[in-house]
Amino acid sequence: MATSPSTKTTRSHLVFIDIDGTMTDGTARELAMEGRGLVSGDYGDPTRSFPQGKAAFISAFNHPSMFHLDVTMDGAEAFIAWCSDLDPDGLFYLTARDIIHHEAIRSDLEQRGLWLPGMRLLCKPHQSLNTLEYKISMIRAISETAQARTVVYVENVQRLRSAAKHIDSDILTFASALDAVNALEEVLER
């Protein structure tokens, strides 16, 4: 049951987890997209181009038929094991992947051992939505509603981690699951 924005609940921890580049390595998918002529240039490079348009690249890159190419990142399984002691209602995958593939994304995470019963998967409602605005608005809305003692955001993109810190400087941000699992045992009392 959804919680209305005016309803506030108190949680000890909220954890937001990115997928691509954080829990899974999509390098093989990127190479496949280059081979198809859908992208040229490295991720994050300002000269990166999309010869058939960015929408064509995103649709192909995020298609479930490509997920098998991903490699689970170091520390991802250990981080999920760490999360297993937390209230699953406070665990969120927060991804720029399209909501039309919600079930396939959840299934892939489950098959990799990166899913816990009760977790939630938040996908972008449409490709044209700005990823930074989408992710930050979700973190803000859920954090304000839940009034968590601790908010953790595991995200490989620096500008997204920085934007999360603008919501609240006390949000704990980590560039990788490995960084998070190594630091959180020391930082948080559970």
Which of 10-14, 107-111, 124-128, 165-169 is most confident? Answer: 107-111
> What are the structural domains of the chain?
1-25+72-190 (3.40.50.1000), 27-69 (no CATH)
Q: Who has greater pLDDT, 44 or 82?
A: 82
Mean pLDDT of the chain: 90
Inter-residue contact 180 to 174 (CB < 8 Å) = yes
What residues contact 163, with CB distance under 8 A and at least 6 apart? 132, 135, 136
Q: What is the mean pLDDT of residues 178-186?
A: 87
The pLDDT tens digits for 124-144 are 998 889 999 999 999 999 998
Q: What is the mean pLDDT of residues 107-114?
A: 97
How many Å apart are CA 122 and CA 2, to the nearest integer?
13
Pairing verdict, β 71-72 and 150-154: unpaired
What was the pLDDT predicted at 188? 59
Count helices and strands in the chain by DSSP H and E runs: 7, 7
